[in-house]
Structure 1
Amino acid sequence: MKVIKVLNEKEVGKVAGDLILSAIQSNSSSILGLATGSTPESTYEYLIEDFKKNKTDWSKVKTFNLDEYVGLSPDHKKSYRYFMNDKLFHKINIDIKNTHVPDGLKIENPEDYDKLISKNGGIDLQLLGIGTNGHIGFNEPGTSFDSLTSVVDLTAETIEVNSRFFESALEVPKKAVSMGLTSIMNARKIVLIAIGKNKAEAIKQLINGNISINWPCTILQNHKDVTVIIDEEAASLI
C-alpha cells in the first residue's frame, strides 16, 4: 500500500486526478470505477480543468460507479447519477452510454452489475472515498468480505453524515445498491482518497489496523495495488 500525504483538499484532487489521467493516457479505453460524495469533488474539478486545457479524450472511456440510493430515480437531484452527470460527465467528452451507475429503481438483480463489469473487461482503476466508520462503497461494518453488488442497509451514522446533502436526515434513503467488497477488490488498481480530521481514525485503521469486518476498509490491505492519498488532517493519527 502506497500512502501519499499532501497539504489540502486541492492537492488530493490533483494527485488523484493525475493518476486517473495517466490511466487514460496509457489506455484510451480505460475502465474506471468512480465514487460520489464531497471527497472526490476536487478530483473531478481537476479532471474538468484538464479537459478544458489539454482536451484529454474521454470518448472511449467507460465508467462504473460504486453505488446509488434505493428509491431515487436517475434524474432525482440527490441521486448519484445526477451527481455524476453534474460534477463530471456533462463537462467532458465521455459518451454518456459508457457511464454506468446502479439504478435505484431497478434492484431485482443487483448482481447483474458485477456481470456487466466483467463483460466489459473489469475495472482498471477504482476511485474510493472512505466513511468515518471505515465503509467503502456502502459496505458498512460487518459486511462480508465475499460480498458482491447488492442492496444494503445504511447505518444510522452514515445516514446522519449524508444528511448534509438533504434537507434533513429523514429524507436520506435507508437503503442503497452498492458494489460489494469483492467487487471493489476485483479492480486492478485502487486509489483511495480522504480529506479532513473526521476521516483520521478510519485512515489509521486502514493503514495500521488489523484486517477485520468491523472496519471494511481494512480488506484493502490484501490488494496488490492500492494508493492512499490523504490531506494533513486525515493523516493526523498515522
Structure 2
Amino acid sequence: MNETEFQKDNLTVKVFPGTDEMGKAAAISVAEKLNAAITEKGFTNLILATGASQFQFLEQLQQQAIAWKKITVFHLDEYKGMPVTHPASFRKYLKERILDRVQPKQVHYLNGDAPDAEAEVLRYENLLNEHPIDVACIGIGENGHIAFNDPPVADFNDPKLVKVVELDEACRKQQLGEGWFPTLDDVPTHALSLTIPAIMRCKHISCVVPDERKAEAVYNTLNAEISTACPATILRTHPDCVLNLDQGAALKL
C-alpha cells in the first residue's frame, strides 16, 4: 500500500503504510523546508518535539543532508522541576537522540528545573521573539494536546508564548503508559510549555503522529469542531501544516 494524501480545511494529511515510511517522508520534507530557508537567508530556526512518537522521525532526520551549523533549535516543553539527568527529561531526550550528534549552530533549552519558573518562561519567550521559527516539528497527544496544551489549559488566543501549565490526568497517564515513569505518582503535575499561538505562528508545521493509541485524537483533530476540547483541531487553520500518520493512527479515518 502506498502513501495516501488528502486535505482537511487547510491541513494536508498524509497516511503511510508504516511508521518507518512516515518518519522518513516527514524527515525529507522537513529537510527541504530547512534547506530552503537556509538558501533564502543563510540560517533557519527550528522547533523539535519529543516523546515516543518522534523516534523514527528524529532517526531519519539525522540521515538528511542538512546544514546544521546554520540552524538554531528550540523545543516545545519540559516538566517543571525536572533535572536534565532524569530519564524522562525532554532536554536529555533531545541531546541524546539527535542534538549532540548533529551539533546545531545553537540550542536553546527550556530549563524545567530553573529556580524561578516564571523568569525562565520570560527568558524563553524573549528568545522566541528574537528567532522567528521557520519549521516546527510537533506531535499530538492522546488527549489531543499540542505541546503540553491539554484541553483544560489550552488557549487559542493565549497572550503568552510560553507558560507554566498543569497537566491533566489523560496526559499524565500517557507519559506513564509510554514507560517514562514507574508510577502515575512519579509523573510531574506541571510543565513549562510553548503555547498554541507560539506554535501557530511558526511558518511551517510538520506533525508526526504514529500508533493506534492516537487514532481517536487524530479522528477528533480532523472531524471535531475547532475548539480547545481537542487543541490539535486548530492545526486545520494553519496555512502550511502537514499531518503525517501511519496506518495505526489513521485507523478511524
- Scaled by the length of structure 1, the TM-score of the pair is 0.92
Q: Which residue of 1 aligns with 2:63?
A: 49
Q: Deviations over 1:123-178 (max 9, x none)?
A: 11111110111000000013221223100011111111101112222211111000
The residue aligned with 1:118 is 129
Does the residue aligned with 1:59 lie in a helix, a strand or coil?
Answer: helix
Following TM superposition, by how much is the alpha carbon of 1:114 offset from its aligned partner in structure 2, in angstroms?
Answer: 2.4
- In structure 2, the partner of 1:105 is 113
Q: 2:243 aligns with which of 228, 234, 237?
A: 228
Which one of 134, 138, 161 corresponds to residue 144 of structure 2?
134
CA contact (8 A) 1:151 1:176 kept: yes
> How many angstroms apart in 2 are the aligned matches of 1:3 and 1:205?
14
Q: Secondary structure at the match of 1:157?
A: helix
Kept in 1, the 8 Å contact 2:235–2:241? The answer is: yes
Is 1:30 matched up with 2:44? Answer: yes
Deviations 1:15-51 (A, max 9, x none): 110122112221331111110001111111112233x
Aligned to 1:76: 86
Tell me the amino acid that sits aligned with residue 46 of structure 2.
L
User: How many residues end up aligned between the 2 structures?
Assistant: 231
For residue 132 of structure 1, give the secondary structure of its aligned residue in structure 2.
Answer: coil
Which AA in structure 2 matches 1:127?
C
The 8 Å contact of residues 80 and 101 in structure 1, kept in 2 or not, is answered as no
The amino acid that maps onto 1:118 is N
Query: Shift in Å at residue 74 of structure 1?
Result: 2.5
What SS class does the counterpart of residue 145 from structure 2 fall into?
coil
| Structure 1, unpaired ranges of 5+ | none
Aligned to 1:189: 204
1:21 and 2:31 matched: yes
Shift in Å, 1:63 = 1.0
Q: Is the 8 A contact 1:191 1:226 kept in 2?
A: yes
Task: State yes or no: 1:4 paired with 2:18.
Answer: no
The residue matched to 1:49 in structure 2 has which SS?
coil
Secondary structure of the residue that 1:39 maps to in structure 2? helix
SS of 2:148's equivalent in the other structure is coil
Aligned partners of 2:155, 2:62: CA distance in 1, in Å? Answer: 36
Q: Aligned partners of 2:59 and 2:222: how far apart in 1?
A: 27
Q: Which moved more, 1:186-195 or 1:72-81?
A: 72-81
2:155 to 139, 144, 154: 144
Moved over 4 A (4+): none
Please provide the CA RMSD for this pair: 1.4
| Cα displacement string for residues 43-86 of structure 1 (whole angstroms, at most 9, x for unaligned residues) | 11112233xxx5x3201101110000111122333211110000
Please say if residues 192 and 226 of structure 1, whose CA atoms lie closer than 8 Å, have aligned partners that are also in contact. Answer: yes
Equivalents in 1 of 2:168, 2:191: separation in Å?
11
Cα distance in structure 2, aligned partners of 1:81 and 1:213: 27
